[in-house]
Each structure stands twice: as structure tokens, then as C-alpha cells.
């Protein structure tokens, strides 16, 4: 009986290796995301959404939470006439405003020339910063809870400094009331003009909002 022939050997050649499936690269969070993830929600902002909104709805007899007034932005302005002859004062003021607010300010410039004061149009005369979001809430909390109570013989802020459209203005005489400023590092004492812009339509509604946030109005 004839023997069966063995099957022909396979052709020589390199065996194709199975492709390795690459693991998707894990996205590394940026430094900004890390900071945001770890930073706690501002205390006053949390209080506003958990307590104050509901209280204002009842007090103002509002039917919708969207009608409840809120803070839109806060601007802080420093005008320095002395900077005309000493530009370094602007650098110091900018540094101090940055420390106080946590945000880099911008220069404000003269809108017109005044020969008697040696002031030319476009010349830097101050610094200002506009705060929104969490940094705004944090500044407002420090202003109300820490800075204002440090004013000597403080008896409250004026409740007549509203503009009729729901916005409030506050003038401070010196920067030392903010704990971020070190007394022995001050080269010149200067004040601030602070404007708190709200969504309120009138003075009474804006005052109710600020009162609930803790603004110490003079009685």
C-alpha cells in the first residue's frame, strides 16, 4: 500500500507579528486645572447661592430665581496725580492693587491735557482692575469681613452712595486696611474708589442684596 506523502512545508518567510495596541495616552491636567480643582468655592459665593438667593426671593416677593439680584463685577480704581512727576508711584500702586485683588491691574491714562498740572493726554495717571467670577467674590468677602472693620473708628459705610441703577460706590482713604499690604513697605498712602455693579434695577433692591452679603451700612 502506497505511503501518503507528507504535506508540503510552508514557504519560508518571517511570520507577521501581531500589532501591539497602543494604550491611549492619559491626559495630564494643566496647572490651571489642578488649581481650579483644588481651590474651594469662595465662602461668600456659596452663601449667596445656598442662603441669600432664597431669602431675597421671599423679601422682594420674586417669583423666579432669575429675578434675584446678583453682583456682576467690581472695579477698583486708584488715581495718582503725584505720578505725573514720579512714575515709580504707578509701579508701586499696581503692585499693591495686584496683592489686594489677586489680579494684575491696567494703567489708566489722562483723557485730555491740562497745562497747569503738566498733564498731557494719554499720560498714565493711575491703575484699575475689574474683577469677575470667583476672584470677585473672594475680594468682596475680604473687603467686608476684614478690610472695612480695620478702619479706625469705623461706624459703617454710607447707604446713600447708590447711583439709582443698582450700583454702589465706596471710597477708601488708605491701602493699609488690607492685610496684604505691609506698613513698612508703603512708599505713599493712597485711597481707592470701589464700584460694585449689580443686576438690581434700583437702590432699594441693591441695598437689600449688599445687606444680605454683609455690607455694614451706617445706621
Summarised one tens digit per residue, pLDDT across range 196-207 is: 999 999 999 999
Read out DSSP for 95-125? HHHHHHHSS--EEEE-SS-BGGGTB-TT-EE
Query: What was the pLDDT predicted at 187?
Result: 78
CA 139 – CA 185 distance, rounded (Å) = 22
| pTM for the full predicted model | 0.77
Q: Above 90 in pLDDT, residue 164?
A: yes
Q: Which residue has the higher pLDDT, 130 or 10?
A: 130
User: Does the structure show a pLDDT above 50 at 148?
Assistant: yes
Q: What is the mean pLDDT of the chain?
A: 83
CATH number, domain 69-213: 3.30.1440.10
> What pLDDT was estimated at residue 108?
79
What would the pLDDT profile of 25-72 be if each residue is shown by its tens digit?
A: 444 444 444 444 567 899 999 999 999 999 999 999 999 999 999 999
Amino acid at each position: 500500500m502506497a505511503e501518503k506523502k507528507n504535506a508540503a512545508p510552508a514557504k519560508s518567510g518571517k511570520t507577521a507579528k501581531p500589532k501591539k495596541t497602543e494604550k491611549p495616552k492619559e491626559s495630564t491636567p494643566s496647572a490651571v486645572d489642578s488649581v481650579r480643582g483644588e481651590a474651594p468655592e469662595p465662602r461668600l459665593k456659596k452663601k449667596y447661592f445656598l442662603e441669600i438667593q432664597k431669602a431675597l426671593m421671599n423679601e422682594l416677593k420674586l417669583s423666579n430665581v432669575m429675578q434675584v439680584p446678583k453682583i456682576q463685577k467690581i472695579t477698583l480704581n486708584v488715581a495718582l496725580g503725584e505720578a505725573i512727576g514720579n512714575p515709580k508711584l504707578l509701579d508701586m500702586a499696581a503692585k499693591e492693587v495686584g496683592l489686594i485683588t489677586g489680579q494684575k491691574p491696567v494703567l489708566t491714562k489722562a483723557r485730555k491735557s491740562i497745562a497747569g498740572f503738566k498733564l498731557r493726554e494719554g499720560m498714565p495717571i493711575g491703575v484699575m482692575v475689574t474683577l469677575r467670577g470667583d476672584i470677585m467674590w473672594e475680594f468682596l468677602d475680604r473687603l467686608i469681613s476684614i478690610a472695612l472693620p480695620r478702619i479706625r473708628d469705623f461706624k459703617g459705610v454710607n447707604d446713600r452712595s447708590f447711583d439709582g441703577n443698582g450700583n454702589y460706590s465706596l471710597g477708601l482713604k488708605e491701602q493699609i486696611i488690607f492685610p496684604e499690604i505691609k506698613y513698612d513697605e508703603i512708599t505713599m498712602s493712597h485711597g481707592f474708589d470701589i464700584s460694585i455693579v449689580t443686576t438690581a434695577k434700583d437702590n432699594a433692591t441693591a441695598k437689600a442684596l449688599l445687606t444680605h452679603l454683609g455690607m455694614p451700612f451706617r445706621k
